[in-house]
Structure 1
């Protein structure tokens, strides 16, 4: 991937940033911790470190590798919680992406997202594992109502909460000029997909895209920490 950049900033409400990310060659990941003071920060950091270490320790990356990396992180976090009762309830989202030849591999748990921007269209690739996503799929709320729903922060699946974890994954064909965007709900929970699409349409430089989207989040009140990675295939 070319010109792949990331940025994580604390919001205007939170006292600490529980988001984490890494970018390494053609692999990147975003995590967003939960579990209150320290717990969420520990879970998200632990997950990023374990995922990165796992993927760097193997010679060949495929879709299953990304799933295994998240499962590896899940086991490590569950085991740590078992040893340290004060960390009970902590967990984290995780979305991991790797470019291999003309394929984009991904795996995810939680509500951090992967988008693809191609031919002026923005497509959400991952599906949120959240209460509001379930309500949306059941037809009980609209996409617009997700932004204000009182249960919008409740996850139905997270890394580090239970030993048995289902990880979503997939493989996409990509071509030169496609752009990817990974983010926590600090972006997607406050800024519409249409606005994200418009920024990617208007701005070619990925660092400037980050700055524009962060400005939008802060103008919207920055009720959560925000982490974004943008890269060009």
Structure 2
């Protein structure tokens, strides 16, 4: 399957960009990675960079394991790598991550923390990842009492917590679109707004730029770092039958 990609980031109101991302292509397979260094922790930027560097190293090294196993190994190796970074500092470094592996007509994804993946199909939201945050846990378990802070995570890469990456997969057709983003984006833009923007004229990159700018404007002077990756199935335009005959095609 052919894919079109768009990407971008904004520092928001922060003094440092602690998000990192990359789009990797190898032999027709793609790996998208987006990581958000933990806000308030030392070496947050170094931690998210370590996630992306791990992906670059392993994706281009021959690997014969199933994509789900590969993504789990990426998460665990990045976790160990960030833990080593933290040994030189009083506090542990940390990062969220969301991976998307595109292979033939299948997609696989893994995430740790509260960076999200959204899967759209035929202009409808099919799925989005569930944050590894205390507020999400409270909502799932329907607990009552004092509410947790929205940015308080119970699982991240590099932290003292146990890491159990959440991994999912889906078959693909001709109308799939995936969006990966950090919390600085999804806190300001909801899925319906994404769909509305994509219906307007313009390239995929233009739409990504508009969405990022809108998120930054809404966040104002206190805006978090914002990062966004979009992967959209690229429909091949068919030639008219008469043109096909001219080129000797059946």
> Fold-level match, TM-score > 0.5?
yes
Deviating beyond 6 angstroms after TM superposition, the runs of 4 or more aligned structure 1 residues are: none
Residues 173-184 of structure 1 mapped to structure 2, 5 A cutoff:
173-184=171-182
Give the corresponding residue for 2:5: 4
Query: Aligned in 2, Cα 1:164/1:151: closer, same or farther, shift over 3 Å?
Result: closer
Which secondary structure does the structure 2 equivalent of 1:93 belong to? strand
The two structures have a TM-score, normalised by structure 2, of: 0.82
Distance 1:162 1:221 in 2: 30
- The correspondence of residues 24-63 of structure 1 with structure 2, limited to 5 A, is 24-25=24-25, 26-34=30-38, 36=40, 39-60=43-64, 62-63=67-68
8 A contact 2:41–2:94 mirrored in 1: no
In 2, are the aligned partners of 1:51 and 1:70 still within 8 Å (CA)? no
Cα distance, 1:136 vs structure 2: 2.5
Give matches, 1:189-228, under 5 Å.
189-202=187-200, 205-222=203-220, 223-228=223-228
**Counterparts in 2 of 1:150 and 1:136: CA distance versus 1, 3 Å:** closer
> Using the alignment, how far apart are the partners of 2:201 and 2:135 within structure 1?
31
| 1:16-36 deviation per Cα after TM superposition (whole angstroms, max 9, x unaligned) | 110000001111100000153
Number of residue pairs the alignment of both structures matches: 223
Q: Does 1:109 align with 2:112?
A: yes
Q: What is the alpha-carbon distance in structure 1 between the residues aligned to residue 202 and residue 133 of structure 2? A: 32
The one of 131, 134, 150 aligned to 2:134: 131
Q: Which residue pairs with 1:89 in the alignment?
A: 92
Bigger Cα Rg? 2
Structure-1-length-normalised TM-score: 0.88
**Higher deviation after alignment, 194-203 or 93-102:** 194-203
Residue 139 of structure 1, CA deviation: 3.9
Task: Point out where structure 2 has 5 or more consecutive residues left out of the alignment.
Answer: 234-250
Match of 2:164 among 161, 166, 187: 166
* Corresponding residue for residue 152 of structure 2: 154
Indicate the residue corresponding to 1:145 in structure 2. none
- CA-CA distance at 1:119 after TM superposition: 1.2
Does the residue aligned with 1:221 lie in a helix, a strand or coil? helix
- Residues 93-144 of structure 1: CA distance to partner in whole angstroms, max 9, x if unpaired? 0001111111001111001111111111023331111122123323469xxx
Output the aligned Cα RMSD: 2.1
